[in-house]
Structure formats: structure tokens, C-alpha cells
Chains A and B, each alone.
Chain A
Amino acid sequence: MYEQAQTAPEHDLEGSSAPRAAKVDAASLTESQLSPVLAVKNLSFAWPASSFQIGITDLNVKSGEHWLLEGPSGSGKSTLLQLLGGVLLPQRGDVRILGQSWAALTAAQRDLRRADHVGFIFQQFNLVPYLSALENVLLPCRFSQARRLAAESRGGLKEEARRLLDALGLGVKEIQLRRAARLSVGQQQRVAAARALIGRPSLVLADEPTSALDANNRAAFLELLFTEARSAKTAIVLVSHDTSLRPHFERHLTLEGGLC
């Protein structure tokens, strides 16, 4: 109940993700498509006891774009993702999601907004081990009404989850009902991708999602992820040290100096 009460004002400001998708489908270059999903300006962040700094001068991720942010291994890539996702706030500069600055929101508001608009994929251990693949995919819809409604509007909650798993190569029902802890790493990553995409969030932030996969699986995984993201008009920002991924992406940003 209170869920609804809290999310309602936000919907008034932004419109839910369903109408947003509809606008994009209209294929006219409306303002919502042109204005960035994620905008970063003069970002700088450093952990208190650390000398290294994260910095991005300018980054604009538009709806449906796929970005690769490259940085050397062992740098603050995870930290950067948390900054982009509004988990951490930058010391200087500004990160905006759908035109709204994370810093201007309270922690609770950031949580809500993140749940509604951002999907995450991590390097590994993405899933709740005791839930089935299907239940894991459905998790975001339990916590975000916007994503639940968006998923339901595509022919039912479970059906949409099954469709996503199927599209990502996990169509076998037995696998969908298998506990996450008993899936292979490759399967787990694909479940994580399906989960990040369910309910058509505006943005998926991915942290080295392919590093646990071999080269073949890596390409296949990205291919499936992009195909689904494209049809949902979801923007993808992937952070990795792996320069071999570059050919898969239409845009990339090398984080020099800052991320080292």
C-alpha cells in the first residue's frame, strides 16, 4: 500500500516506464529520447584513505545506447558503478538519471528511483542462492511497482520473465525452476541479465559481467544482452578492463588517469 503512495508523486514527474517506452516506439525524436538517460558532469570521487581518484568530465548516455567504460584492472570500477547508480554520491560534479540529480534526492528516494529505473549485473554472485532462476528474475518486480506494471503489461509477470530467460538461452523449464546456487556461472550471468532487463528499466549498469565467462560465451552473452536491451530501449553501461570487448560496443570511453 505505502509503496504506491510513495511512488505516485514520482510517476507524476517522470511518467512510468511504460509510457516512456511507448513514446520511443513512436519513432519520433521526442525530447525524452534526446535527453540523456544518464548524464555525468565533472565527476570526481576518492575514497578517504586512498590516493586514487575517479573522474569523468562529461558523459551522456542516451536511451538504447550501449557504452563501454574501460579502465585498468583493480581500479575503482565498482565504485564508479555505485556512483552512476546513486549508491554513492560524488564529492564533486553531478550524476543525473533521467534528468534528475542523485545528489538532490534523499537516500530513500534514491533507493526508489534506482529500483524503478536501474538494473544491475555484477561480475559474479548475482543471484539469491535459494531462489529459482525464475524467482530471481522476478525480484525487481517485487520491489518496484513501475517495473512490475511494465512487465505485466507485456503479457503477465511470469510470462515476461520466462520470455526473457528464453531469449537469453534459458528456455528449458527445468533450468528456469532450478535453484540459482545450482546453475553454472554462465547460466547465472544470463539469469542476472534477464533480471536486470525485466520491467524495461531505462538503464542497466554492468560490472565486468563477462569476466567469469570464456571468449565464446562472452560474445554470445553480450549478443543476447544487447538484443534484448535494444528491443526494450534500455541503455547499457558496462564497466570493464577488457579492451577486447570494444568491438561489441558502439560507444566507449576510456577512463584515463582517473581510473587507475
Chain B
Amino acid sequence: MLMRSLLTLAWSSLGSRRFVALLTVACIGLGSAVLIVVEQIRMEAREAFSRSVSGVDLIVGPRGGSVELLMGVVFRTGTPGRGMTFESYRQIAALPGVTWALPVSFGDSHHGYPVMGTEADYFKHFRYGRSQPLAFAAGSPFADIFDAVIGAEVAERLGYRLNQQIALEHGLEAAMDAKHSHQDKPFRIVGILQRTGTAVDRTVHVSLAGIEAMHADWVDGRPPDAFDKLSAEEARLVVKTPERISAMLVALDQRGAVLFMQAHLQKWPAEPLSAVMPGPALLELWEIVGVAENVLRGMSWCVITVVLVGMLTVLWSGLEERRHEMAVLRAVGARPRHIFLLIIGEALLLTLGGVVAGIFFAALTLSALESMLVQQYGLSLSAAFSGRTIVPLFSGLVAAGLLAGLLPAMRCYRRSLSDGLSPETGG
């Protein structure tokens, strides 16, 4: 009863300073929104990282940074480098101790989603998360040259169903003109994968032969003149094994042999290659991201601190002109601790209002960022918060708000003791 009265009183008091109160709520809202967005992205990123690949012992590609290779193959974001020869792939796949090896080839896209050329065995061998295999929501792996298997994200976003014809585009960006489109050689969707929460979801998988067929009439990476164009059926006839692929995935019989194999591949005689262990490389990448992420996190807490100090200032500066009000409340029977609770109540209402507004802002921001993050970084962000993120943040923010309210409340409490019932006569 009394607590409710005090909260009502706090509410009316804030209502009488509506403008300042709303500004404070908006500030706290923006501050918490920054914090929530950063936190949500961080969680999703970590999740995506740990889920992205499993069961692959080495990723082999052209000599270069391991991060670049990883980004390209696992997250399918980077533009492929020079790649490696198909010959090297064939030899490495045949090395003793290699359980399976898969070629991967990038360079084309479909509505911004990367196209990956590989072999049908990819769907059998590839693992993500805790060694989960890929599963088909519909259809089956590709069999024909012009078959495609699409990830869940692609299917959902573009509204694709089985047997639909799609045109792929050359390059990773959407085609600038018809010349760079492979629309003359359409692919048929034969399989749709179940959602994995990894980059697989936004990949269009085709066979290596399919990649070759698309480019059968291309010369040195340039589109053919109208004269030299081959139809899909003609391309079928001239397609041969590729000369180059982007990289390859390797799994070994014995994981213990991985260091030996890595060293062996680093000294590959035919061409300069690098071999990356996905686990440690992911960790390395995570550390790079992690630093930036910690800086972001620190900054968002700074924002919150500034905002709460702002609220403290608002409450504090109001106290002087509210001395009379406090004295009146004392005269009608409010004890000093009620005065304390009144100020704390105001801080609580401001913070609660702010944090709720913050969650709302954050949801808006995240849903706006969602498609961008998914397409560019493979982060499948859910605008719906997990309780794991929001509960500790919510309680942390409210606790911080109460803490900021503590100072003015203490001051008011002390003064209401010394002021008595009228501020003029107090000592």
C-alpha cells in the first residue's frame, strides 16, 4: 500500500517535470540500446563462430593469410585469391592418411549470396556445430551439371521452391549488366538444406562441373561476344575438369597426423600452398574480432555510465528546488526513509522506462541490421532476444540505475533529517 503510494508519488513528481524526465528516459533508452545491440551481436557472432565448421582437419588454399583463407572458405565472404590447381587437389586427395578431400570453388553469386562449386560428397562429409551433418529440408544433392542446392536462408529470403530455375551472376556482387549474368545457363533447384545457423544457409551449392559449364564460353575471365556464346546444351558437351579451384577441405584418418600433414602441405613442391587448421585459426580470428568487440563493449558501458550520471545530475539538481516539497511530505507524516524511497523510486521509474525503451530501440536496430549482417558477415541475427542476453543486461542496467539514484536519495534522506518540517529553520 505504502510502496504503491510512494511509486504513485514518484510518478506524479516525474510527470510534473515531464520534459526532463522524457529526455532522461530517451538517453537511458539510447544508451541501453547500444549496449543490447553490441551484446546481441557479440553473442550471435561467438555462436556463429563456434558452429561454423567441424570435422575438417585442414583447409588448404593458396599461400597467404590463414584468416583470409578461413573467411573465404568457412564464412564465404572473401573474394577468392588465385586459388590452387586442380592437379594439386587431386594429388593431395590421394595422399595416404587422407580420409576425404573436397574441392571448393567461389567467384559467382546469386542475389548477393555466394555460389560454391564442390562435389556431391560435400553433403555427406561436411559437419557443423557438434559434428552435425547437413540435412535436406527438401530434395537431394545435385546430380546434373545445372543442378543447385540452396541453403535455408536463400530459400526463405528469396522464396524459392524445388525445381525453380535460377540464374547465377558472375562475381560476388549482383551483376552490373546482362553480360556478367549467367542467365543464359539457368540452374534448377534440386535440394534445399535445413537451417544450420552457419554460412551454409546462405550458400548456393553447385557442382564443380556446373561452375565450369557456366564459364565454358568465357575467355580469361571475360564474357564472350554474342558471336561466341554457347547455349547451355552446347556448354554441357564441352565441359571438362577445372584447371583451378579456390581451396580444398581435408579430413584425415588420424587427427594426430594433422601437424605432420600441415608441414608437408606448406612445402608443397608444385605451388605455394598454405594449410590451416580451422579450430586454431577460428580462435585466432575470434581474438582479432574479440578485441574490437571488447572495445565496443567497454564503450557501450561507458555510454551507459554517462547516461546514468546524466540521470543522477537531473535528480540531484532537482533536489534543491524540491526542499520545500520534501519538508511538506515530512509534515504530513513521511519518514526520512520514505523520502529516500521516493527518490529511489524516481530513479527506478526513469531507469525502467529507459531500459524498456532501449529494448524497443535495440529490436528496431537489430531488425534493420539483420539482413546486412547476414549477407555480409553470415551472422544470422535474431531480433528476438534470447533470455540469456536480455535478463542479465536488464537486471544489470536496472541495478546500475538504482545505484545512480542512491546518491541523491542519500542526500535527500540526510537533509530531510536536518531540515525538519520547514527548510528555512533547519540547521
- Taking beta carbons and an 8 Å cutoff, which residues of A are in contact with B? 3, 47, 78-79, 82, 85, 87-88, 107-108, 111-112, 114-116, 120, 122, 125-131, 135, 139-140, 142-144, 147, 195, 207
B323: min CB distance to chain A, Å: 10
Using an 8 Å CB-CB cutoff, how does the interface string of B298-337 with A read, 1 for contact, 0 for none? 0000000000000000000000000011001101111110
B5, A88: Cβ atoms under 8 Å? no
A-contacting 9-mer, from B9-17, B35-43, B97-105 = B9-17
B304: min CB distance to chain A, Å: 29
Asked if B422 is at the interface (CB within 8 A of a chain A CB), the reply is yes
Whether A128 contacts B1 in the complex (CB less than 8 A), given A87-B420, A120-B421, A122-B422, comes out as no
A82, B425: Cβ atoms under 8 Å? yes
B332, A129: Cβ atoms under 8 Å? no
- Contacts of B16 on A, CB cut-off 8 Å? 129-130
Supplied contacts A47-B427, A128-B9, A129-B325, 18 more A-B pairs, CB within 8 Å: A78-B424, A82-B422, A112-B335, A115-B334, A120-B331, A120-B421, A130-B13, A130-B16, A131-B9, A135-B12, A139-B329, A139-B332, A140-B332, A142-B2, A143-B2, A143-B332, A143-B335, A143-B338
B5's contact among A78, A87, A122, A142, by CB below 8 Å, is which? A142
- Contacts of A115 on B, CB cut-off 8 Å? 332-335
Nearest chain-A residue to B419 (Cβ)?
A87
- Contacts of B425 on A, CB cut-off 8 Å? 78-79, 82
Alpha-carbon distance between A147 and B334 when the two chains are bound, in angstroms: 13
B325, A128: Cβ atoms under 8 Å? yes
Nearest chain-A residue to B11 (Cβ)?
A130
- Contacts of B328 on A, CB cut-off 8 Å? 125-128
A131, B12: Cβ atoms under 8 Å? yes
B333, A140: Cβ atoms under 8 Å? yes
Alpha-carbon distance between A199 and B336 when the two chains are bound, in angstroms: 22
- Contacts of A88 on B, CB cut-off 8 Å? 420
Alpha-carbon distance between A122 and B335 when the two chains are bound, in angstroms: 19
In the complex, chain B residues 261-304 whose Cβ is within 8 Å of any chain A Cβ = none
Q: DSSP class of A's interface residues: helix, strand, loop or mixed?
A: helix
- Contacts of A139 on B, CB cut-off 8 Å? 329, 332-333
B332, A3: Cβ atoms under 8 Å? no
Alpha-carbon distance between A207 and B420 when the two chains are bound, in angstroms: 14
- Contacts of A111 on B, CB cut-off 8 Å? 333, 335-336
B11: min CB distance to chain A, Å: 10
- Contacts of B421 on A, CB cut-off 8 Å? 82, 85, 87, 120, 122
B12, A78: Cβ atoms under 8 Å? no
Nearest chain-B residue to A126 (Cβ)?
B328
B1: min CB distance to chain A, Å: 7
- Taking beta carbons and an 8 Å cutoff, which residues of B are in contact with A? 1-2, 5, 9, 12-13, 15-16, 324-325, 328-329, 331-336, 338, 417, 420-422, 424-425, 427
A13: min CB distance to chain B, Å: 19
A144, B422: Cβ atoms under 8 Å? no
A162: min CB distance to chain B, Å: 18
A70: min CB distance to chain B, Å: 19
B2, A3: Cβ atoms under 8 Å? yes
A194: min CB distance to chain B, Å: 12
A114, B12: Cβ atoms under 8 Å? no
A120, B332: Cβ atoms under 8 Å? yes
Nearest chain-A residue to B424 (Cβ)?
A78
Alpha-carbon distance between A129 and B12 when the two chains are bound, in angstroms: 10
- Contacts of B338 on A, CB cut-off 8 Å? 143
- Contacts of A82 on B, CB cut-off 8 Å? 420-422, 425
Nearest chain-A residue to B337 (Cβ)?
A108
B15, A130: Cβ atoms under 8 Å? yes
Alpha-carbon distance between A82 and B419 when the two chains are bound, in angstroms: 11
A143's contact among B15, B333, B420, B427, by CB below 8 Å, is which? B333
Alpha-carbon distance between A140 and B332 when the two chains are bound, in angstroms: 5
B331, A122: Cβ atoms under 8 Å? yes
A204: min CB distance to chain B, Å: 11
Residue of B332, B420, B424 most packed against chain A (CB within 10 A)? B332
- Contacts of B422 on A, CB cut-off 8 Å? 78, 82, 122, 207
A73: min CB distance to chain B, Å: 14
Nearest chain-A residue to B417 (Cβ)?
A107
- Contacts of B417 on A, CB cut-off 8 Å? 107
B324's contact among A112, A125, A144, A147, by CB below 8 Å, is which? A125
List 23 interface pairs A-B (beta carbons < 8 Å), by A numbering.
A82-B420, A87-B421, A88-B420, A108-B335, A111-B333, A114-B333, A116-B333, A120-B331, A120-B332, A122-B422, A127-B328, A128-B9, A128-B325, A128-B328, A129-B325, A130-B13, A140-B333, A142-B5, A142-B9, A143-B2, A144-B333, A147-B333, A195-B332
9 closest pairs, A vs B, by CB? A115-B333, A130-B16, A143-B333, A142-B5, A139-B332, A120-B331, A87-B420, A111-B335, A140-B332
Alpha-carbon distance between A116 and B335 when the two chains are bound, in angstroms: 12
A68: min CB distance to chain B, Å: 20
Alpha-carbon distance between A115 and B331 when the two chains are bound, in angstroms: 8
A50: min CB distance to chain B, Å: 11
Alpha-carbon distance between A127 and B417 when the two chains are bound, in angstroms: 19
A165: min CB distance to chain B, Å: 16
B427: min CB distance to chain A, Å: 8
B327: min CB distance to chain A, Å: 8
- Contacts of A79 on B, CB cut-off 8 Å? 425
- Contacts of A107 on B, CB cut-off 8 Å? 417
Alpha-carbon distance between A147 and B333 when the two chains are bound, in angstroms: 10
B324, A143: Cβ atoms under 8 Å? no
Nearest chain-A residue to B17 (Cβ)?
A130
Alpha-carbon distance between A129 and B420 when the two chains are bound, in angstroms: 19
Residue of B328, B338, B424, B427 most packed against chain A (CB within 10 A)? B328
- Contacts of A129 on B, CB cut-off 8 Å? 16, 325
- Contacts of A120 on B, CB cut-off 8 Å? 331-332, 421
Alpha-carbon distance between A130 and B16 when the two chains are bound, in angstroms: 6
Alpha-carbon distance between A79 and B333 when the two chains are bound, in angstroms: 18
Nearest chain-B residue to A201 (Cβ)?
B333
Alpha-carbon distance between A111 and B9 when the two chains are bound, in angstroms: 20
